[in-house]
Amino acid sequence: MTHPSTPIDHGTDTDGESVGGAPAGRPVGRDGARVDVHETKAWYVDGLLAILVALVLAGLSTWLFTRMAISIDRGTGSPVVEGVAAGILLLASAVLFSSLTIVSPGDTKVIQFFGRYVGTIRKAGLLMTVPFTMKRKVSVKVRNFETHELKVNDADGNPVNIAAIVVWQVADTAKSVFAVEQYDEFVAVQSESALRHVATSHPYDNPGPGEESLRGSTGLVAEELAEEVAERIAIAGLEVVETRISSLAYAPEIAQAMLQRQQASAIIAAREKIVEGAVSMVERALDRLEGDGIVTLDDERKAAMVSNLLVVLTSDHRVSPVINTGSLYT
């Protein structure tokens, strides 16, 4: 007889321990993230003061070691006490020197004390922080990432080549260090995944009612891509500054056919415009002729005149109009 297993809580221990457990057996999304850490401010003071104190302690230690040697040589004084004091001062000086760190503008230092995260230093300069700590540099400068030119199918199933530029930076240094393995690689993978999803959600051109095309609405598509990438990389403590579509074209295997379709659509649109203008001009000409009483035309003569005018106005080549000097009825 089997007994149902009791699900294990996937929360975080109150002592900061990362809690594991049995797999959920289903996609858990961001709720399944086991590392729950947020950036905090680390303790630090001005490093110049620490250097000054460390140098003073080192000087006193040297002086005491010298006195100890003299006391041993002369057999006077308390060389043991002087040696112990000198050793303590030297150790204190070494501790102060080990706590020094240099932070450049645009960089931060993530501080770990024997594996435990104690905070982040964002202030630039020479600083003193908790001694015996590991200090990991994390850049918070704005970075560019350009995706590879991806071949995807748009909403209509046509293969297109598309690429984008994602401008991003580190917002939460603790998450970027501890929540993911390599946050720069994480940005690359998630950006290309989001680009594929956005590209397959829109047609390349000729959008339907309520749709946005990739070619005609690149600004809106870029905003949608920025929102999706930002949502995906937030778990790593990263934020998106902006995104831009850097390359967009039909795949080579259908590029020629799509070009012919676009040319045909353009020709049809131009023809419609030409015919519409020609009909308007013929209509005004007939109204002017009849209104001014220049000539009186019956329906058959109007048809012949309209035909000749339309041929002249809509022809692609230069035409020579035929002047009829006789009668249509003889």
Residue 76 is classified by DSSP as -
Cβ contacts of 282 within 8 Å, gap of 6 or more: 305, 306, 309, 310, 313
* Residue 57 identity: L
Q: Model's pTM, two decimal places?
A: 0.67
**What does residue 120 show for φ and ψ, rounded to 5 degrees?**
-130, 140
200: helix, coil or strand?
A: coil
DSSP string for residues in 8-66: PP----TTSPPP-----SS--GGGG--------BPPEEEHHHHHHHHHHHHHHHHHHHH
Cβ contacts of 97 within 8 Å, gap of 6 or more: 51, 54
CA distance from start to end of the chain:
111
Q: Quick one: pLDDT at residue 245?
A: 93
Cβ contacts of 108 within 8 Å, gap of 6 or more: 120, 121, 122, 137, 138, 139, 140, 173
Q: Quick one: pLDDT at residue 10?
A: 43
* Residue 252 identity: P
Q: Quick one: pLDDT at residue 321?
A: 61
Question: How distant, in Å, are the alpha carbons of 84, 143, 163, 175, 308 from that of 244?
Answer: 66, 14, 9, 26, 53
| Residue 146 and residue 168 in contact, taking contact as beta carbons nearer than 8 Å | no
pLDDT tens for the chain, residues 1 to 330: 444 444 444 444 555 565 566 777 777 776 666 777 889 999 998 888 888 888 888 888 888 878 777 777 777 767 777 778 878 888 888 888 888 999 999 999 999 999 899 999 999 999 999 988 999 999 999 999 999 999 999 888 888 999 999 999 999 999 999 989 999 999 999 999 999 999 999 998 877 787 888 888 888 999 999 999 999 999 999 999 999 999 988 887 766 666 666 676 777 777 788 778 878 887 787 777 777 766 666 667 677 777 767 776 666 666 666 655 455 555
Question: How distant, in Å, are the alpha carbons of 151, 156, 193, 204, 261 from that of 159?
Answer: 7, 9, 16, 9, 15
- For residue 79 the two structure tokens come to 């060389």
Q: Quick one: pLDDT at residue 207?
A: 75
| Residue 127 and residue 47 in contact, taking contact as beta carbons nearer than 8 Å | yes
247: helix, coil or strand?
A: strand
Q: Quick one: pLDDT at residue 324?
A: 55
**What does residue 123 show for φ and ψ, rounded to 5 degrees?**
-75, 135
What's the rounded Cα separation, in Å, for the pair 77 and 79? 6
For the chain, which residues make up each domain, given as ranges?
A: 44-137, 143-250, 255-314
Task: Output the CA angle 107-113-117, nearest 5 degrees.
Answer: 60
Supply the CATH classification number for the domain 143-250. Answer: 3.30.479.30
